[in-house]
Amino acid sequence: MRKIAAQFFISLDGVVEAPDQWHFPYFNDEMGAAVDATLGTADTLILGRRTYDSFAGAWPEREASGGEDAPFAKVLGDARKIVVSHRPLEPAWRNCERIEGDLVEPVTALRNGPGSGRVWISGSVSVVRQLLAAGLLDELNLLVHPIAVRKGIRLFEEDEAPVPLELISCETFRTGVLNLFYSPAAPARHGTYDDAKAHLPQH
């Protein structure tokens, strides 16, 4: 079974929208290594349409220009890219294919299909929400930035069911960014204040 993993740059108040407007001051060698470690084990990307349009508008040109980020751009270009969209794709980037409608069946088939490479999702909030709800996301990597953005789309919507997660590992970067890895967890047991009182200091 292949592992499906998602990665987000996220603020302290849960915003994941437009990280290009607040994220870059925190990008250092540690974060670069973290992104490379995640992508380096993936041979397939799943992208929402907005994320795809952003990537396709930048990375092919960066690969062609041969700059210092060209090797990373080539990794993205060589990967199989599955784009979730109701609109046709323009042939702007190689190795792309489109799926539309319900994600559960095609992603389940991808997860259970041949291959050992990780399936990687960068951004693409709506895709990750659907896969979490369907139990198809194996790992959630949150790079939590020490800033409250205070506006924009948040990863988890209000008025929806709780999403229990189990912390797998954590690391603190020199910039104060927390590199957190979670996996899905069983629903938390019911608890009350009376249960909690047993763990308070007794004086």
Q: How many CA atoms lie within 13 A of 21 on its CB side?
A: 10
Q: In the prediction, which pLDDT does 13 show?
A: 96
Q: In the prediction, which pLDDT does 122 show?
A: 87
CA neighbor of 135 nearest in space, from 93, 163, 155: 163
Residue written as tokens 């308070």? 200
How far is Cα 27 from Cα 23, in angstroms, rounded to an integer? Answer: 7
How far is Cα 42 from Cα 111, in angstroms, rounded to an integer? Answer: 13
Domain boundaries along the sequence of the chain: 4-186
DSSP-assigned letter for residue 43: E
Q: Which residues contact 89 (CB under 8 A, 6 or more apart)?
A: 52, 83, 96, 97, 98
Four-way CATH pick for 4-186: 3.40.50.720, 3.40.430.10, 3.90.1150.10, 1.10.10.10: 3.40.430.10
- List residues bridging with 10 in a β-sheet: 144
CA neighbor of 82 nearest in space, from 51, 60, 54: 51
Q: In the prediction, which pLDDT does 4 show?
A: 95
Per run of 10 residues, the mean pLDDT along the chain (length 203 residues) is 94 95 96 88 91 91 92 91 90 89 91 86 91 94 97 89 92 98 87 83 78
Backbone phi, psi, residue 44, to 5°: -140, 135
Count, residues in the chain = 203
Pairing of the two strands 139-145 and 178-184: antiparallel
Q: In the prediction, which pLDDT does 160 show?
A: 77
